[in-house]
Amino acid sequence: MNGAALHAEPNPVRTSRWSSPGPSDGNMYAVARMKGKAGQGRFWVGMETGECYENYPWWAVALCNLVSQAIYGLGAFIVYQLGWIWMAIYLVYLLVLEIRLLGGHCVHCYYYGKACAFGKGRLSALFFKRGDPGRFSGKRITWLSMIPDILVGLVPIIAGIIVLVRGFSWTVLVAMISVLLLATAGSGAVRNSLACRHCRQRELGCPAEQLFRKAGSQES
Ligand code: SF4
């Protein structure tokens, strides 16, 4: 997940092979059980969502990062049209979000020290100590707490509107549309078909995934 945020309701008790008996301690129990059995490499969990990766393959990590890095790059380009100082502020903001994610969320994730869909489990282990696996699923995530992540795509759109009002530019308009599509449909597609679909932490309980799934089921 790009911005692992917090969740709105207690995690349901899962009934799969890797299910946990409770929302917090149970997850730690399940993780310990999996570590003993799974080892490294690809792993079949046996759930209807398909194969869960112990470590995501490199091409999946590359693809997932392609979308988020494209949003960052295009976003920085659009904001730059307002001046390099605004771009610098935007880049620092992205850096703060990444550090917050690595140090505040990834440390508690099952993929700490492993290759998650975004490769951040490994990155987190380089800079931060392992956290408490029970805290990952115990967090409360709402759309309000997702605002800092939503701003990553929203700020360039707002900046782009200002730029277009000052003087129309096809390049900026195309960049804005690209950011919009990548931040909505692109991120959703990567999450549903790759990142969350094959995620072990999802099986253990992921408040962000539950929030997205809830929103998706309300839309359909
Ligand atoms: S299910 Fe996995 S990939 Fe999806 S948001 Fe949660 S931790 Fe990230």
Give the pLDDT mean for 210-219: 81
CA distance 110 to 88: 33
> C-alpha 207: how far from its chain's center?
11
pLDDT digits (tens, 9 = 90+) for 118-162: 999 999 999 999 999 989 988 889 999 999 999 999 999 999 999
Mean pLDDT score of the chain, rounded to an integer? 82
| Site residues for ligand 1, CB cut-off 6 Å | 1, 4, 109, 117, 195-196, 199, 201-202, 206, 208-209
Residue 205 in domain: yes
pLDDT tens readout for residues 23-70: 333 333 333 334 333 333 333 333 346 689 999 999 999 999 999 999
Classify residue 8: in a domain, yes or no: no
Contact 159, 14 (CB under 8 A): no
Q: Is residue 201 part of a domain?
A: yes
Determine the distance separating the centroid of ligand 1 and the alpha carbon of 189, expressed in angstroms: 13
What's the 58 CA to ligand 1 centre distance in angstroms? 17
Whose tokens are 């890095």? That residue is: 69
Please report the atom of ligand 1 found closest to the CA of residue 212.
5
| Residue 117 CA, closest ligand 1 atom number | 3
Q: Quick check: is 192 in a domain?
A: yes
Ligand 1 centroid to residue 198 C-alpha, Å: 9
- Rounded distance from Cα 14 to ligand 1 centre (Å): 16
Residues 6+ apart with CB under 8 A from 9: 210
Atom of ligand 1 nearest to the CA of 111: 7
| Number of domains forming the structure of the chain | 1
> Are the C-beta atoms of residues 49 and 213 closer than 8 Å to each other?
no
Residue nearest to atom 8 of ligand 1 (CA): 1
Range of the domain at 109: 52-219
pLDDT digits (tens, 9 = 90+) for 189-201: 999 999 999 999 9
Q: Indicate the SS3 state at residue 185.
A: helix
List, for residues 165-177, the tens digit of each pLDDT value. 999 999 999 999 9
Which ligand 1 atom lies nearest to the CA of residue 200? 2
In this structure, is residue 25 part of a structural domain? no
Q: Closest ligand 1 atom, CA of 109?
A: 7
**C-alpha 213 – ligand 1 centre gap (Å):** 11
Residue 22 resides in a domain:
no
Residue 40 domain-assigned (yes or no):
no
Helix (H, G, I), strand (E, B) or coil at 7: strand
30 C-beta neighbours (distance < 10 Å), count: 23
Give the orientation angle of helix 84-104 with respect to helix 120-127, to 10 degrees: 80
Cα–Cα distance for residue pair 182/177, rounded to 1 Å: 8
Q: What is the pLDDT of residue 50?
A: 65
pLDDT at site 176: 98
Q: Position of tokens 């869960």?
A: 52
Mean pLDDT, rounded, for 109-114: 97
